[in-house]
Amino acid sequence: MSGRPPTPILPDNLPIPIDDGACAHLTGTTLPSIAIPSTASSGPIDLSVLKGLVIIFCFPRTGAQDEVVPREWDLIPGARGCTPHACSFGETSTELHRLGVQHIFGYSTQEMYFQKELKEMRGLPYELLSDEGLDWVMALGLPTLEWQGRKLVKRLALAVRDGKVVKTWYPIFPPNKNAQEVIAWLKDEGSEE
């Protein structure tokens, strides 16, 4: 882990997102067959064809390496914390795999440049997906937010077994605790589904 910057600490008093029901329709949904560009050297990934248990966590955007996070971003409930969210899945990936997860993916509608930068800078042991065309967002009806004229996916996570959504986490707060929530679910009931 030496050479990697420390995981950012979330500011206090961030607004807490509320459950607006925007993901209620997802459990039981079969994933659409869409090849999403990824950081994998093999190219785009079609999540619908992957066998076994897959965890996909979605996040709005990460900042550029030296970007100062604007105060306006902090005021959007649930927006802040993409890097801590991603790092938490990196830190727990061994346990997630031990508990039966075959694949972990981070997903965003942000450009591939940012996904590659995040993966490299943080040494993430899983692939990141870049759906800047919003194909997967529209096909699944994922919740979004507007930021500087762009539509971004809201923070959520999905457990998918053999191409079908079996569990949804939404809203997620704080984001750096989401991986632990997934682990708790796996220990309690996820391995039985």
Residue spans per domain, the chain: 35-64+85-192
pTM of the model: 0.93
Q: What is the pLDDT of residue 174?
A: 95
- Which one, of 152, 186, 144, lies nearest residue 166 by Cα? 186
84 three-state secondary structure: helix
**Phi, psi (5° rounding) for residue 59?**
-140, 150
Whether the per-residue pLDDT at 158 is higher than 80: the answer is: yes
Q: Is the pLDDT of residue 183 over 80?
A: yes
CATH code of the region 35-64+85-192? 3.40.30.10
Closest CA to 59 of 5, 114, 11, 103: 114
Determine contact, residues 155/59, Cβ cutoff 8 Å. Answer: yes
Q: What is the mean pLDDT of residues 171-184?
A: 97
Q: Is the pLDDT of residue 72 over 80?
A: yes
Report the chain's mean pLDDT, rounded to a whole number: 92
Q: Which residues contact 128 (CB under 8 A, 6 or more apart)?
A: 38, 39, 86, 105, 106, 107, 108, 115, 116, 118, 119
